[in-house]
Amino acid sequence: MAWYDYVAGFFAGMILANFVPHFVHGISGDRFPTPFAKPPGKGLSSPTVNVVWALFNLAVGYVLLRAGKVPTGDYPAVTIFFAGVALLSTLSSVRFARKHAA
């Protein structure tokens, strides 16, 4: 596989990890930060905006997943995909823990 396949797989993991909190908050009827909030990423967006943002992340993540050839069973590609998931999940948990503590 080419290097850019691994990059696509890594970003697919990050974007698909970002899909989860926006989708869960949106379908639960809860407000949650999105890039469209004021201030961006800190203010709260409506549940509908979160669902739309989540679905956009899902579509882009799926395209990158396929472009990165992660579903082929190539173990390095799968490992890099999960590294993207782990990185964004960990960074998000730290950021939102600080947000709720303030």
Does residue 34 register a pLDDT over 70?
yes
Please give the Cα distance from 19 to 26 (Å, whole number): 11
Please give the Cα distance from 87 to 96 (Å, whole number): 14
Provide the pLDDT confidence category of residue 99 given band limits of 50, 70 and 90: low
pLDDT digits (tens, 9 = 90+) for 40-82: 878 899 999 999 999 999 999 999 999 998 888 789 999 999 9
Does residue 24 register a pLDDT over 70?
yes
Q: What is the mean pLDDT of the chain?
A: 92
Confidence at residue 100, expressed as pLDDT on a 0 to 100 scale: 59
Which residue is associated with the tokens 């882009």?
60
Confidence at residue 71, expressed as pLDDT on a 0 to 100 scale: 85
pTM across the whole model: 0.89
Burial class (CB in 10 A: 0-12, 13-18, 19+), 75: exposed
Confidence at residue 8, expressed as pLDDT on a 0 to 100 scale: 96
Confidence at residue 102, expressed as pLDDT on a 0 to 100 scale: 54
DSSP 3-state assignment of 65?
A: helix
